Amino acid sequence: MSFEKIRDPRRVRHWKGDMECDYIYTAGIAGEKFFTTIRDKAKLLATRCAKCKITYLPPRIYCERCQASLDNWIEVPKTGTIETFTTVHMDNNGAPLSKPITLAFIRIDETDGGLIHEIGGTKPEALKIGMRVEAVFQSKSKRTGALTDIKYFKPV
């Protein structure tokens, strides 16, 4: 019997298994401050390295260029510019989505960083690289301190 011709491994002696582990992830020092500020004030915070002239969003407690510790927190606008975008037509298993999702990388104003997030309030065909957008937050009662506290970004 040639094993190469067996496409279904269940036709030979086999064992089933899984590699499940459960996790509780925490946001860290910088993430805790970033997300609680989104939750409580619907505002975006960044950290700045004055020496390297880099503003980090999402904020970090260190500069990745000089490795100095950063504690210079600044509030930045909730607006930004679309650097690139795409429209997702299939789910992760290859099945067609009933409603395509448009995702963009948004460079947040006054920072050297940004967020990848959904675009709403417009049609995908209306989007252009370079378009100005702003964050639309969930209502305060729905905000939990997570990335999804921003519903989406919409054109300004």
Partner 1 sequence: MVKKRVAVIGAGITLFRRRLQETGKELSHYAVEMALDSAEMTRDDIESVVMGTAPDAFDGIHMKAENLLDGAGGARKPYTRVFVGGGTGVFAPIGGWWHVASGLFDTCLVVAEEKMSPCYPHPQTAFRTIWDPIITRPLEPNLVWIFALEMQRYMQIHNIPKEHIAAIAVKNKGNALDHPSAQLAAKITVQDVLDSEVMVWPVQRLDISPPSDGAAAMILASEDVARKYTDDPVWLDGVGWSLDSAYWTNRDLYFPEYVATAARMAYKMAKIHNPRKEISLAEPYDPFDYKEAHHTEGLLLADKGGAPKLTVEGQTFRDGDQPICPSGGLLGVGNPIAAAGLMKCCECFWQLRNEAGKRQVPKAETAVAQAWGDLMQIGTVTVFRR
Amino acid at 67: Q
The reply on whether position 139 binds partner 1 by CB under 8 A is no
The reply on whether position 62 binds partner 1 by CB under 8 A is yes
Cα–Cα distance, 31 to 61 (Å, whole number) = 9
Closest CB to partner 1 among residues 67, 93: 67
Nearest alpha-carbon partner for 42 in 70, 76, 80: 76
Q: Which of 30, 45, 76, 127 binds partner 1 (CB under 8 A)?
A: 30
The reply on whether position 19 binds partner 1 by CB under 8 A is yes
The reply on whether position 50 binds partner 1 by CB under 8 A is no
x-or-dash string of contact with partner 1, 68-87, rule CB under 8 A: xx------------------
Beta strand 114-118 pairing with 96-108: antiparallel
Cα–Cα distance, 59 to 47 (Å, whole number) = 5
Closest CB to partner 1 among residues 62, 137: 62
Q: Which two tokens stand for residue 35?
A: 């997300």
- Work out whether the CA dihedral 90, 23, 136, 81 comes out positive or negative: negative
The reply on whether position 48 binds partner 1 by CB under 8 A is no
The reply on whether position 42 binds partner 1 by CB under 8 A is no
Task: Say which DSSP state 69 is in.
Answer: B
Q: Which residues would be at the binding site for partner 1 (CB under 8 A)?
A: 15, 17, 19, 21-32, 60-62, 64-69
